[in-house]
Chain A
Amino acid sequence: MADGAAPAATIRLPGPLRDRAGRRTEVATRGTTVRALIVDLDQQFPGMRFELCEETGNLRPFINIFLGNENVRDLQGLDTPVSDGGIVHILLSVAGG
């Protein structure tokens, strides 16, 4: 269970992950980093972390996570700190050309 005192953030899910979250488009999570938000998301909807991260702990290559308008790969990756009220977008890399 996420720490109730940790910052609250909203994760917006891409279409292919919504079935796993009961067709929700977004999920309320808590955590001090993006990684912690994913752990909370996984606790609410088991399997989410494996969809997003490899067993090594790294983000899968064609998954992009934006905190606001910033790709977390350009920040501190999954260890990027999260502020209260943060909006996290999970997006797939553009594929097809």
Chain B
Amino acid sequence: MAAKRSYPKGTVALSVGTKRGVFLLTSKDRRTWKVEEPSLVGYRVYHAAVDMRNGTRMYAAANNDFFGSGVRYSDDFGHTWKEPEKGIAFVEGSSLSLKNIWIIEPGRPSEPDTVYCGVDPAALFVSHDRGKTWAMNAGLENHHTRGRWQPGAGGLCLHSIVAHPDNPRRIWVAISAVGVMRTDDGGQTWTFCNKGTRADFLPDKYPEFGQCVHRLILHPTRHDVLYQQNHCSTYLSDNAGDTWTEIRSNLPSDFGFPMALDPHDPKTLYTIVENPEGRTNVTNQFTVYRTRNAGRHWQRLTKGLPKGPAVRLGVLRHGLSTDSRDPCGVYVGTNTGQLFASRDRGDSWRLIADFLPPIYSVTTAVL
């Protein structure tokens, strides 16, 4: 039995969800990283996160190829895991059954016991007791358009959840390939927030819904400002999702999955766009893209990242993350098992782990 895990205050922890379990990497200085033995190795862990609002609890979306999928939580950094007393599932006898859990999102700072979870087929679940019991949001489940929702290639997945930090009645979710939806009444009703985002793969390029949003994030201080990476370009909204403006600018492709921002300078965004056919880097240079002016111009970040005719790396929607240190660290996990880190806002990069299983998600916490 491995020793119980504990870490000094200030340690940066990366929770890395992979096709074969979850890995925890830790560092005091973000130069030297310690990689722990993986846990939940029989599961496809689509997402994992450390929640520090009420003690330290780690959550994992543990998807299984044979048996039922479920949330697992750990109070010892993945040394041991527990399962909920009432887990995530559709009503028995329903026409729906859980395929995969895509994201586990800790709720607002003001509700430290609340955790949200997004799944395929698209549904939002919430726990008000730190993951012990879960309930489905019926408003979204019973939306009058639901019968016309179509899955993206990854499934009909609800993959992004943004709870408004100050308004307990407002939440945004993002679903592939439905688009962004918002509730302003605590989840009883939901409206589409897709005006201005394209669906190039549909006859009507600007439908009410059907857009293939890939990732949705919120500005940390201006809570009407959202950013999204989409199947069909990169967008900003400064009115809570009512309308969107394209901020692709000089990015070399419309197509990308992940997005993150610098919490100390939220006009600084990071994304990785890809060749839409191969779903890997556009040129022979694996590149992270950064803007410092909310998308008016994008810089290519390449120092320390691999280059060559054999370099073809893909990054999935939750595979890019920043930490809360200043200057912020930036972390990128590839679907071929490389983990790159920058401790200087993306100016330079290092490979901090290789030969991992395909990486689905990277999240950060400063302990």
Contact = CB atoms under 8 A, between A and B. Distances in A.
Interface string A2-41: 0000000000000011000000000000000000000000
Interface residues of B, number: 18
Nearest to A17: B67
Nearest to B93: A57
Interface residues of A, number: 17
B83 interface: yes
A60 B91 contact: no
Contacts of A17: 67
Contacts of B90: 55
B67 A56 contact: no
A63 B64 CA distance: 12
B95 interface: yes
B65 interface: yes
A55 B65 contact: no
Q: Indicate the member of B67, B83, B95 with the most A CB atoms within 10 Å.
A: B67
Contacts of B42: 16
Interface string A42-61: 00000100111011111010
A50 B93 contact: no
B351 interface: no
Given A50-B87, A55-B97, A55-B98, A93 B66 contact: yes
Contacts of A54: 97-98
Contacts of A55: 89-94, 96-98
A83 B91 CA distance: 31
A75 interface: no
A95 interface: yes
Contact of A92 (B66, B91, B95): B66
A72 to B, nearest CB: 17
A16 B40 CA distance: 12
A62 B66 contact: yes
Interface string B216-228: 0000000000000
Contact of A56 (B66, B68, B70, B97): B97
Q: Indicate the member of B42, B65, B83, B93 with the most A CB atoms within 10 Å.
A: B65
Chain A contact residues: helix, strand, loop or mixed: loop
A27 B269 CA distance: 55
Contacts of B94: 55-56
A16 B64 CA distance: 11
B117 to A, nearest CB: 16
Contacts of A62: 65-66
B125 to A, nearest CB: 13
A95 B66 CA distance: 10
Contacts of A56: 93-97
Contacts of A63: 66-67
Contacts of B65: 62, 95
A55 B98 CA distance: 7
Contacts of B87: 47, 50
Given A16-B42, A56-B96, A51 B67 contact: yes
B66 A16 contact: yes
Contact of B83 (A47, A57, A92, A95): A47
A76 B83 CA distance: 33
16 contacts: A16-B42, A16-B67, A47-B87, A50-B68, A50-B89, A51-B67, A51-B68, A55-B90, A55-B96, A56-B94, A56-B95, A56-B96, A58-B97, A60-B68, A62-B66, A95-B66
